[in-house]
């Protein structure tokens, strides 16, 4: 049981990076390990409502994460803690092990190398004191370079040293979703109170605001209010402001007011240091030759390196097997295969188009002919074809069973739009980029 509980903690630490702090603390953190038998994973939940949310929203992610660590598909079962026997078993279980520490996003756990020194120094400076010189801080670079780590390190540092200050971390997609919900539920006052009364606003993946006119308008006013009040703003993106094509000029200009820092892929020495630090945190001993082998073969991002160490830890826990070079070969092969881009679903594309054009997903899929809806539908169909290369018949089924000729018509319409309307072309290209990078 001790080993399975440790595996669950490794799974949790991975999900913590992908979810908002609120989602993680509400739904994932309370899960407890019960049993791993063959391919059956049994976890306990706090109540029936919590169980229903896990099964409806997070079961797929949990199964994928367990597969990533264990190396095989699992079946997930959630049970609800009960007052009697279940709680007694939980108490006994607690005495059997000390759960592995959650991955601490602090400046001390961030490995500094020659490709991220400037970004690290800037973030540490703003965490220690708000400064007009570094406001905003805009950090950009490919996925997996540690941008989120730096934002969460700022939050950790400020919360520890200045607990009276209000620090909010959010990513661009979640901000957009909250904004849309606030409009629909007529709760804009609450939304403004949350984001315009902060001392530190830390926003990840700002590129997801691209093309979303109303969301950009809202963020513009939020940015201006905070900046005028001398509040600290730190933003991250996968590319610099000038390359986010449908970012409004007034936002682009403001993002470039302060300090811009890029983070590039780490060099060999930094990758070695990252592996050693992660191994130390997970209390697993990895021989130097294996560390060097992993560092030479996993070059794309930090998550790959952390994933390799987690897999080694899982092997050690479940099979009582110390790290070997053969194990490293197998782990690297699995990671490189698993690291291929996840196929983008048609639902994901329709969702992104819906947010960009402020038209419901239901209307985009419908047979409504209003000009604005029809244009959004044509663009959704074009992007679906561009990204998924799905057959026309399959695409048609997702859009109220449209036939081959209708799909062809939509594709031609969008091709003409892109030739004649540069602004629309930029919006479409930004949507495609954001979907591929998400």
Convert the pLDDT of each residue in 321-368 to its tens digit. Answer: 788 898 888 888 878 876 666 677 898 899 999 999 989 999 999 999
Site of tokens 């992104």: 352
Mean pLDDT on 154-179: 92
CA–CA separation, 425 vs 11, rounded Å? 40
Mean pLDDT on 301-315: 86
Q: What is the 3-state secondary structure (H, E, C) of 219-234?
A: HHHHHHHHHHCCCEEE
SS3 state of residue 99? coil
CA–CA separation, 254 vs 257, rounded Å? 5
Note whether 272 and 295 are within 8 A (CB): yes
Residue-level pLDDT at 94: 35
Backbone angles phi, psi at 298, to 5 degrees: -115, 100
pLDDT band at 188; cut points 50, 70, 90? very high
pLDDT band at 80; cut points 50, 70, 90? confident
HSE (side-chain half, CA atoms, 13 Å) at 76: 24
Question: Which among 165, 176, 173 is positioned nearest to 201, based on CA atoms?
Answer: 165
| Residues 6 or more apart in contact with residue 414 via CB below 8 angstroms | 378, 379, 381, 382, 428
Residue-level pLDDT at 89: 38
Whether 390 shows a pLDDT value over 80: the answer reads yes
Tens of pLDDT, residues 11-21: 888 888 777 77
CA–CA separation, 94 vs 96, rounded Å? 5
The full length of the chain comes to 438
Tens of pLDDT, residues 242-256: 999 899 999 999 999
Domains and CATH numbers, the chain: 1-102 (3.30.300.180), 107-262 (3.40.50.300), 346-437 (1.10.1750.10)
Other Cβ atoms within 10 Å of 412 Cβ, number: 12
* Strands, sheet with 32-37, edge to edge from the N-terminal-most edge strand: 32-37, 40-45, 75-80
- Mean pLDDT across the chain, nearest whole number? 86
What would the two tokens of residue 90 be?
């939980």
Higher pLDDT, 132 or 394: 394
pLDDT band at 265; cut points 50, 70, 90? confident
Task: Give the H or E element holding residue 392.
Answer: helix 392-398
CA–CA separation, 299 vs 295, rounded Å? 7
pLDDT band at 88; cut points 50, 70, 90? very low
CA–CA separation, 289 vs 328, rounded Å? 10
What would the two tokens of residue 285 be?
């001993």
In our burial notation (b when 16+ CB lie closer than 10 A, e otherwise), range 274-305 reads bbbbbbebbebebeeebbebbbebbeebbbbb
Alpha helices per DSSP H over 71-116: 85-96
Q: Rounded to the nearest 5 degrees, what angle is found at the Cα of 94, between the Cα atoms of 89 and 96? A: 100
Residue-level pLDDT at 57: 83
Question: Which among 115, 389, 142, 74 is positioned nearest to 381, based on CA atoms?
Answer: 389
User: Phi-psi category of 186—alpha, beta or left, where left has phi over 0 and alpha has psi -120 to 50?
Assistant: left
Whether 420 shows a pLDDT value over 90: the answer reads yes
* Strands, sheet with 137-140, edge to edge from the N-terminal-most edge strand: 167-171, 200-204, 232-237, 137-140, 259-262
CA–CA separation, 260 vs 115, rounded Å? 14
Note whether 240 and 260 are within 8 A (CB): yes
Residue-level pLDDT at 107: 93
| Residues 6 or more apart in contact with residue 181 via CB below 8 angstroms | 187
CA–CA separation, 263 vs 6, rounded Å? 32
Tens of pLDDT, residues 96-134: 323 333 446 889 889 898 889 999 999 999 998 876 778
Question: Which among 111, 105, 140, 107 is positioned nearest to 17, based on CA atoms?
Answer: 105
Other Cβ atoms within 10 Å of 139 Cβ, number: 28
What would the two tokens of residue 40 be?
């059956």
Q: Rounded to the nearest 5 degrees, what angle is found at the Cα of 178, between the Cα atoms of 261 and 139? A: 5
Q: pTM for the full model?
A: 0.69
| Residues 6 or more apart in contact with residue 307 via CB below 8 angstroms | 14, 68, 335
pLDDT band at 220; cut points 50, 70, 90? very high
CA–CA separation, 156 vs 139, rounded Å? 18
SS3 state of residue 32? strand
CA–CA separation, 139 vs 236, rounded Å? 5
Mean pLDDT on 156-179: 92
Higher pLDDT, 319 or 128: 128
pLDDT band at 92; cut points 50, 70, 90? very low
């Amino acid at each position: 049981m001790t080993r399975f509980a440790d595996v669950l903690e490794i799974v949790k630490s991975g999900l913590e990076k992908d979810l908002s702090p609120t989602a993680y603390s509400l739904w994932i953190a309370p899960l407890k390990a019960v049993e791993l038998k063959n391919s059956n994973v049994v976890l306990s939940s706090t109540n029936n409502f919590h169980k229903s949310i896990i099964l409806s929203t997070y079961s797929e992610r949990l199964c994928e994460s367990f597969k990533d660590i264990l190396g095989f598909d699992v079946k997930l079962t959630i049970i609800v803690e009960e007052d009697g026997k279940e709680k007694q078993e939980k108490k006994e279980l607690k005495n059997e092990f000390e759960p592995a520490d959650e991955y601490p996003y602090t400046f001390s756990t961030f490995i500094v190398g020659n490709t991220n020194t400037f970004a690290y120094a800037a973030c540490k400076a703003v965490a220690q004191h708000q400064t007009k010189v570094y406001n905003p801080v805009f950090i950009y670079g490919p996925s997996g370079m540690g941008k989120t780590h730096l934002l969460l390190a700022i939050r950790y540092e400020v919360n520890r040293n200045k607990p009276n200050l209000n620090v909010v971390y959010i990513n661009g997609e979640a901000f957009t979703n909250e904004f849309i919900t606030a409009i629909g539920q007529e709760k804009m006052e609450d939304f403004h109170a949350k984001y315009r009364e902060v001392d530190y606003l830390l926003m990840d993946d700002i590129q997801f605001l691209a093309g979303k006119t109303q969301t950009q308008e809202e963020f513009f006013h939020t940015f201006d209010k905070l900046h005028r009040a001398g509040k600290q703003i730190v933003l991250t993106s996968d590319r610099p402001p000038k390359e986010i094509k449908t970012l409004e000029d007034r936002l682009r200009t403001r993002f470039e007011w302060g300090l811009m820092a890029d983070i590039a892929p780490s060099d060999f020495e930094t990758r070695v240091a990252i592996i050693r630090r992660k191994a130390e945190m997970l209390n697993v001993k990895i021989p130097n030759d294996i560390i060097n082998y992993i560092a030479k073969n996993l070059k794309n991002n930090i998550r790959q390196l952390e994933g390799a160490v987690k897999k080694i830890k899982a092997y050690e826990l479940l099979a009582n097997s110390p790290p070997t070079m053969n194990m490293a070969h197998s782990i690297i092969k699995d990671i490189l295969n698993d690291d291929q881009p996840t196929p983008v679903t048609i639902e994901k594309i329709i969702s992104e188009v819906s947010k960009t054009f402020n038209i419901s997903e239901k209307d985009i899929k419908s047979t409504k002919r209003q000009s604005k809806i029809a244009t959004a539908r044509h663009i959704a169909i074009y992007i679906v074809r561009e990204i998924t290369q799905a057959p026309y018949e399959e695409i048609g089924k997702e859009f109220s069973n449209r036939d081959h000729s209708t799909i062809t018509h939509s594709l031609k319409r969008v091709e003409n739009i892109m030739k004649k309307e540069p602004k629309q072309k930029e919006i479409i290209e930004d949507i495609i980029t954001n979907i591929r990078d998400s």
